[in-house]
Amino acid sequence: MGRSHYFCAMQKDTLVFDLLRKELDRQRHGIELIASENFTSLQVIQAMGSVATNKYAEGYPGKRYYGGCEVIDEIETLAIERLKKVFNASWANVQPHSGAQANSAVFLACLKPGDKILGLDLSMGGHLTHGSPANISGKYYQALHYGVKKDTGIVDYDQLEQIALAEKPKMIICGASAYSRDWDYARIRAVADKIGALVMADIAHPAGLIAKGLLNDPFDHCHIVTSTTHKTLRGPRGGIIMLRHDFENPWGLKDPKGNTRTMSQLLDLAVFPGAQGGPLEHVIAAKAIAFGEILTDEFTAYGKNVINNAQAMAKAMVNRGYNLISNGTDNHLMLIDLRNKNLTGKKAQETLDKAHITLNKNAVPFDDKSPFVTSGIRIGVPAITSRGMNEAHMETVAGFIDKVLTKIDDEATIAGVKNDVNTFMKQFPLYPELG
C-alpha cells in the first residue's frame, strides 16, 4: 500500500479531537483572566498546524545543516525582519522554543557557571528564570535578588543599586511575572554601567504594549531584550531574543573555537547549537504572522484597550475592597492580596474555576503562605480584550469575581455565577470559523 493510501486509510483519532473540541468549548464559555494567556488570530493557529511542521532546519537562513530549506529560509527571514521592525531592533533570533529557552541562551552566551546575576525575587513578582533556586538560572549561576518596597509595592531601585555595587554581578535582569508597574530601565542601566554589568530585559509580559510605545522602551538602556511571543504580543507560544544595538562583547568572550565574536553572533551560537537543535518552523511561521499583525493600527488600538481595561478592572476591584499591590496598574495585569478577605489564592483560584472564571493563585510580596497556597491572585486582561471587551465590561467581570469570593463556600452562588458567565460570554464569539 502506498504512503498516500496509507494516510487516507488511517482512522481519525476521535478521542484527541473530541478533547480539543472540549477545550475550544471551555475557552468559548469562560472568562480568561490568566495574565500569561491570550487568543491568537485564526491565521496563527492555521500556520502552527501547517506543513512547515514537517521540515527539519537546524541552523539559520542560508546556513542550514539540511537540504530543502529554501522556502523555510524565506519564512524565518520574514519573521526576523518583521520582528526587527516591530521593536526597531537591528538583530533578532526567532528560534527559542520559549521565553525560558531564550533566557537560558542569553546566560549561556554571556556568563560562565558560577557568575553572579541579579534579578527580581520570585516571591516579589519575579520570574522563575531570573535566578530561582529551582531553575537552571539559580543552579548554574550565583543568583542575587532585589525586591519591592513594602509600603508601595514598587521595585526598590535603591536596594538594587546597593546589592549591585556590593556584589558586582555580571548581569542585572529586569522584568517580572507578576508586577503591574512600568520599569525605570535608564536607572538600572546607570547602575550597571558603574560596575560594568550587562543588562537583560525580559519583557515577556508587557512586550505588546512596549511594541506600540505605550510603556517605557527598554532597548536603548538594556543590552539584550528577551520575550515570549504570546501574552500581550498575541502570537504563538514561543520565545525571541533581540538587540537594538549590536556590540563587541565586553569581556572578550569567545566562541567554542576561540574566536572573538559580537554579541549577536554569540547569541545565535547560544541558541543553536548551544541550547537547542532543530527550530520549530511551523511556530516561526506563526510568529511571522503575529509580528505582521502587531505592525497594524488595529494592534495599536488593542494595546490601548488592554491598558484601559486593566485600569478599569483595578478600579472596580479596589471599589469592592480588594487590596491591589502598588494600588493599581500601568500594564495589563494586577496582583491582589486576599488576606484582608481571609482567603488564600489557592482557594480563590479553585472556586473561581467552578464558575468558569480562570485566573491563577500568586504569591504577593512578603507573603506568609507557601507558593502552593499563596495569599494572592493575579488578574490579566489581554485575553478578554481580544474577545472584544471594553472598560464597561470590566465592572461586570469584577462583579462576578466578587460574588464568588464573597460567598466562596456557597455552591448555589457559584453555580449561578457560572450560568451568568456562560450567558455573558455569548456576546463575544471565539473562532466562529471553527464551527
Catalytic-labelled residue, pool 28, 55, 58, 304: 58
Phi and psi at 144, nearest 5°, equal -115, 155
Residue 372 assigned ligand-binding role: yes
56 is catalytic: yes
Residue 214 assigned ligand-binding role: no
Residue 375 assigned ligand-binding role: no
Distance CA 54, CA 182 (A): 41
Phi and psi at 423, nearest 5°, equal -70, -45
Are 263 and 273 contacting, i.e. CB atoms less than 8 angstroms apart?
A: no
Question: Residue 55 CB: number of other CB atoms within 10 A?
Answer: 17
Three-state DSSP state, 196: coil
202 is catalytic: yes
Distance CA 346, CA 324 (A): 17
Residue 210: what residue type? Answer: I
Catalytic-labelled residue, pool 231, 234, 244, 341: 231
Distance CA 359, CA 348 (A): 9
**Which burial class, exposed, middle or buried, applies to 391 when counting CB atoms under 10 A from its CB (0-12, 13-18, 19+)?**
middle
Q: What is the DSSP letter of 433?
A: G
Distance CA 185, CA 78 (A): 29
In the beta sheet, which residues pair with residue 146? 120
Task: Please give the full DSSP string across 350-418, using - where no structure is assigned.
Answer: HHHHHTTEE-EEE--TT--S-TTT-SEEEEE-HHHHHTT--HHHHHHHHHHHHHHHHTTT-HHHHHHHH
Are 325 and 365 contacting, i.e. CB atoms less than 8 angstroms apart?
A: yes
C-alpha cell read off for 216: 517605557
Distance CA 376, CA 341 (A): 10
C-alpha cell read off for 34: 490568566
Catalytic-labelled residue, pool 56, 140, 157, 431: 56
- Residue 127 CB-half CA count within 13 A: 22
Stretch (H or E) spanning 334: strand 333-337
228 is catalytic: yes
Catalytic-labelled residue, pool 40, 129, 226, 228: 228
Are 395 and 329 contacting, i.e. CB atoms less than 8 angstroms apart?
A: no
Residue 120 assigned ligand-binding role: no
58 is catalytic: yes
C-alpha cell read off for 253: 568572550
Catalytic-labelled residue, pool 202, 330, 367, 402: 202
Closest CA to 285 of 65, 62, 60, 74: 74
Distance CA 138, CA 107 (A): 11
Residue 122 assigned ligand-binding role: yes
Binding residues for (6S)-5,6,7,8-tetrahydrofolate: 122, 126-128, 370-372
Binding residues: 122, 126-128, 370-372
Catalytic residues: 56, 58, 202, 228, 231, 237
